[in-house]
Amino acid sequence: MKDQQSQLLKREVNRFLKANPKIDHFEILATDVCGHFFGKRYPIDKLLTFADEGLALPAAMFLLSTIGEPLEDLYYGIEDGDPDGHFYLVPGSLSVNDWGNQPRAQMIASTCAAEQPSFFEPRYVLQNVLQAFAARNWRPMVAFELEFYLFDGERDAQDMLQIVRNPKTGREDSATVLSTTRISDFEAVIDDIIHACQQQNIDTGAISSELGPGQFEINFNHHADVLRAADETCLFKRIVVEVAKKHAMGASFMAKPLLESAGNGLHMHISVVDDKGRNIFAGANKAHARLFHAIGGLLATMPASMSFWAPSVNSYRRYRGGVSCAPVSLTWGNENRTVAFRIPLAKQGAWRVENRVPGADANPYLAMAVTLAGMLHGIDNKLDPGKATEQAVVGRGENLPLDMRSALSSTRSNKALADIMGADFIELYCKHRSNETNLFENHINSREYDWYL
């Protein structure tokens, strides 16, 4: 890591230590392929040393399964002897969490600044895609939108989720969309979530109640630092889960936790500016052709991108099972929330595209990386998206993979994504998700006995 960045980190740490003299421990957080944090807790006197020198953690931790276990036949972490990677603290990520029995510091760590970064670190994959934009003197501007469910803290007798009870009435929550009453009734937990976001320097926007019982959405503002935006999205997921525990609730970002209720989406708004800060999607009085080319690229790579936007067996229930509001068709349109890629109303020429396909269970770094890769592919090759869809889309796209194995097959065979995101990473990612799918399916559940015994 460069000396200048090390000096900035040390100044950041010294300011923090001076302002928080009673904090005695800090946590290191890094994000794996599944989008989950791993790390360690250290005494606070180690923080300055790590700011200067970095720290060592096993590099193969990035490849753990969803339940935090090693997967077989990935080479890394097994055949390679499980070596350490060199991690560095990420400037600007030092903050406080206070959901435990005492406040603690936390900081994100990454191999991105190392001499030999881990090619399968999700943060590094996104950084590489951003460098492809930088080579063209372009910089994406992004905003994430995340939906989540709150549930009762206890499961029922069949070990199934229970609808959360309204903290003020004691009754099960009802699915009233955009209800200010629901926000008010759940204000204790929502206010604590917002407070934790403020502690961690996460700027939040609109708060809304959504289509499912116990389902809410808290938006983030547009961000010029895409890596930081993805960092914040991962931190936000952790905040919601930990704060919910304090209120005797559970929280879930599963794509489809309740089959007969709406799923959880991860919507992404993306514009791109040049080195003078001008939106490259804005024409004189209308959208520039680049915006439509970007959408053409998203449509062309959509089948191959599905394994990143829907990375688990449960993810595809959001598109296929029960109540579904998730767009899953090769479509785009203006101000049409039923299409996959929407052009929202552009105020003062602020043209952008919204990707409405990913589920909230997607890894934010990888979901954004594959979206940007598709857009870049479309712009570079001037791909035509075809006609905009003006009517509501009913049903699913016939040519889209809507199960994990089909999605991975599409990902493996797509050269455009491999060229931009790295062929080695694409191959390892597909093997990782395939091996976990095998592990998940190699389990007998009670329904098999009910049906086939």
Tell me: pLDDT of 347 over 90: no
Give the Cα separation of 175 and 150 in Å (integer): 12
pLDDT of res. 8: 87
Helix (H, G, I), strand (E, B) or coil at 23: coil
- Give CA–CA dist 371/134, Å, rounded: 16
Q: Which two tokens stand for residue 375?
A: 């857009």
Quick one: average pLDDT of 379-406? Answer: 91
Q: Which residues is 109 bridged to in the sheet?
A: 89
Provide CB contacts within 8 A for 158, sequence distance 6+. none
The string over 169-201, giving b where at least 16 C-beta atoms fall within 10 Å of a residue's C-beta and e elsewhere, is: eeeebebeeeeeebeebbeebbebbbebbeebe
Residue 284 has a pLDDT of 79
Mean pLDDT, the chain, as a whole number? 95
pLDDT of 381 > 70? The answer is yes
Structure confidence at residue 349 (pLDDT): 82
pLDDT tens string 262-313: 999 999 999 999 999 999 999 878 999 999 999 999 999 999 999 999 999 9
Phi, psi of 341 (to 5 degrees): -125, 115
Q: What is the pLDDT of residue 311?
A: 98
Phi, psi of 323 (to 5 degrees): -70, 125
Provide the pLDDT for residue 348: 77
Q: What is the pLDDT of residues 225-259, one digit of tens each?
A: 999 999 999 999 999 999 999 999 999 999 999 99
pTM of the predicted protein model: 0.96
Alpha carbon distance 91, 50 (integer Å): 12
pLDDT bucket at 399, cuts 50 / 70 / 90: confident
Q: Which pLDDT score is estimated for 3?
A: 75
Show the DSSP H helices in 210-363 as ranges: 226-246, 289-309, 317-320
Q: What is the pLDDT of residues 363-378, one digit of tens each?
A: 999 999 999 999 999 9
pLDDT of residue 175: 86
Place of tokens 């950084």: 127
HSE, CB side, 13 Å, CA atoms: give it for residue 166. 16
DSSP string, 66-133: TTS-PPSS--TTTTT---EEEEEEPTT--EEE-SSSS-EEEEEEESTTSSS--TT-HHHHHHHHHHHH
Cβ atoms of 191 and 110 closer than 8 Å: no
Tell me the CATH class for 131-452.
Answer: alpha beta
Q: What is the pLDDT of residue 2?
A: 67
Give whole-number Cα distances, 26 to 31, 39, 228, in Å: 17, 11, 20
The answer to whether 3-118 and 131-452 have equal CATH topology is no
Per-residue model confidence (pLDDT) at position 324: 67
Closest CA to 215 of 239, 250, 243: 250
User: Could you tell me what percent of the chain has a pLDDT over 90?
Assistant: 89
- Of the chain, the percentage scoring pLDDT greater than 70 comes to 99
Cα-flanking dihedrals φ and ψ of residue 216, to 5°? -140, 165
What are the φ/ψ torsions at residue 228 (nearest 5 degrees)?
-65, -40
In this structure, CATH architecture of domain 3-118: Roll (3.10)
Please report, for the chain, the start and end positions of each structural domain, with discontinuous segments joined by +.
3-118, 131-452
* pLDDT score of 117 more than 80: yes
